[in-house]
Every structure is written in structure tokens, then in C-alpha cells.
């Protein structure tokens, strides 16, 4: 089951979010965070896929301050999203993530994780620095250099996916993330797929999608969430 809901944010704004519900009652929930191109049909399918695994899922439209409800753009049209991307601020993103976390708690969820893709991977890391998550996953999120100071604030174990052929995120930046987390003594796992580039998980992006890496990452992600989000 899926639906769109409206969340009230602490800054007085309202935000649409896509919700995917599992069959039966779930005690574990996920915040699934969009790419830079909006809450696309691809991200909605990802939400549905996690719901089929038993998670209650919420995916917010994080451009809600500047874009109309339901806004998406084509994957080759970054110019259309640039103004929305650059208008994002840390306080706004933190407020959005707190609203999603609160909604999951109010729906009976006991353990909550986050997973994000590209821009969403960055936001998943931000969420893990301000929320008492039980697990956080970032797919090729741009974290270094400006968010390295949040390594010390990470609450839950992190799973980080990188593309070894990613032209958007230099290898020095991925290494800097691991170094910062290691120095902060935070539990994390780095996974690099040597043949994959940026956006390798998105099957709606023929030039970026790498089927083998995507399939392997899905299995690793499910195992990670099973370990950290299962009630003991």
C-alpha cells in the first residue's frame, strides 16, 4: 500500500511525503531520501521494494520550500533542479528529517533507519548526526569536505556505497570520509564497486545504471538493516 501524506514541519512549512506500507504491522521503519531530481518514480519503487521487505517507509519531498508539490526533473536536466538544490540548508534538512522520524515513531515504529541516494546519501549522513537512528546508509553521497566535522556526531552504524568509476566524487573525498569516521571511532562499512559510476543504483538512468553493482548493493543493504533494525 502506498499514499502521499502531508507533514507539518517545525519551521511552519508543510511537506509532502510518499509512504509505502508493508503487509501487517512493522516495528521497523525507514526514511528513504531522494536524489537531486525529486521524488521520482524510481525512488517510489525503491520505497515499495523496502515495504515488501517488511519496513514502514516514508520518503519526503525535500525541495518543498522552493518547488511545487510533486516536482521532479529528468535525469539529464540538472539545470531545472539547481536552484532547489542550492536553496537547501542544514537547518531545513534537519527539520525535515525530524518530522519523518516523528511520523514513524507515531506509527508505532521502534527502530528507524535511513537510506539515501546521491543528494539523499548526503542527507542520510546528516540525519544520522541529529537523530537517534539505528542504522544509516548512503549511496554515493557527497559528504566531504564540508560535512566531515559531523563524523563525531554519527549516532548509528553507517554503510557507505561508492562507485570506483564515479566522476562526480573524487576518491580523495571518499577516503576522507572513512578517515574522519575512523578517527571519531564510529562504526562504518565502506563498499566500493570498481566498475560502477555515480548513480549506479538507478535503473531509470541507462548511462549510469550498473545492474550487477545495484543488485549486490541491495543485498548488502538488506543484510545491514536486518542486523541493526531487527528487534532483539
Q: How much is the CA Rg of the chain, to the nearest whole Å?
A: 16
By residue count, the chain amounts to: 232
Q: What is the per-residue pLDDT for 232?
A: 61
> In sequence order, what are the residues at sequence separation of 6 or more whose Cβ sits closer than 8 angstroms to the Cβ of residue 12?
none
Number of folded domains that form the chain: 1
Instruction: Tell me the per-residue pLDDT of 88-119, one tens digit each, with 9 for 90 and over.
Output: 999 999 999 999 999 999 999 999 999 999 99
Distances (CA, A) of 149 to 129, 176, 181, 183: 10, 11, 10, 11
Say what the pLDDT of residue 1 is.
Answer: 86
Per the prediction, the chain carries an average pLDDT of: 97
DSSP letter, residue 24: S
Over range 168-195, report the average pLDDT: 97
- Percentage of residues in the chain with pLDDT exceeding 70? 100
* Predicted confidence (pLDDT) at residue 200 exceeds the cutoff of 80: yes
Task: Spell out the residues 6+ positions from residue 65 whose beta carbon is closer than 8 angstroms to its own.
Answer: 13, 87, 92
pLDDT in tens, 20-59: 999 988 889 999 999 999 999 999 999 999 999 999 999 9
> 46, 77 in Cβ contact below 8 A?
no
User: 223-232 burial, b if ≥16 CB within 10 A, otherwise e?
Assistant: ebbeebbeee
For 8, the domain range is 2-229
Distance from CA of residue 155 to its chain's centroid? 15
Burial 78-91 (b: 16+ CB within 10 A, else e): eeebeebeeebeee
pTM score? 0.97
Q: What is the mean pLDDT of residues 177-197?
A: 98
CA angle 136-145-151, nearest 5°?
40
Residues with Cβ within 8 Å of residue 231, at least 6 apart in sequence:
27, 28, 110, 111
Specify the CATH number for the domain of residue 107: 3.40.50.1820
Instruction: Check residues 26 and 144 and name the one with the higher pLDDT.
Output: 144
Amino acid at each position: 500500500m502506498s499514499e502521499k501524506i502531508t507533514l507539518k514541519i517545525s519551521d511552519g512549512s508543510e511537506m509532502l511525503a510518499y509512504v509505502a506500507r508493508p503487509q501487517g504491522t512493522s516495528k521497523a521503519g525507514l526514511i528513504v531520501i531522494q536524489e537531486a531530481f525529486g521524488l521520482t518514480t524510481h525512488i517510489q519503487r525503491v520505497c515499495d521494494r523496502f515495504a515488501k521487505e517488511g519496513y514502514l517507509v516514508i520518503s519526503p519531498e525535500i525541495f518543498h520550500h522552493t518547488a511545487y508539490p510533486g516536482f521532479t526533473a529528468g535525469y539529464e536536466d540538472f539545470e531545472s533542479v539547481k536552484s532547489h538544490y542550492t536553496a537547501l540548508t542544514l537547518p531545513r534538512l534537519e527539520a525535515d528529517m525530524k518530522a519523518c522520524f516523528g511520523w514513524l515513531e507515531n506509527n508505532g515504529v521502534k527502530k528507524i533507519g535511513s537510506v539515501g541516494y546521491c543528494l539523499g546519501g548526503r542527507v542520510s549522513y546528516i540525519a544520522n548526526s541529529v537523530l537517534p537512528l539505528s542504522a544509516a546508509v548512503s549511496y554515493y553521497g557527497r559528504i566531504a569536505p564540508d560535512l566531515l566535522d559531523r563524523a563525531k556526531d554519527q549516532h548509528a552504524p553507517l554503510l557507505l556505497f561508492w562507485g570506483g568509476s564515479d566522476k562526480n566524487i573524487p576518491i580523495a573525498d571518499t577516503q576522507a570520509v572513512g578517515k574522519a569516521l575512523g578517527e571519531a571511532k564510529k562504526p562504518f562499512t565502506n563498499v566500493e564497486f570498481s566498475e560502477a559510476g555515480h548513480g549506479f543504483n538507478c535503473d531509470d538512468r541507462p548511462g549510469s545504471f550498473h545492474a550487477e553493482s545495484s543488485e549486490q548493493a541491495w543485498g548488502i543493504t538488506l543484510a545491514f538493516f536486518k542486523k541493526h533494525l531487527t528487534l532483539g
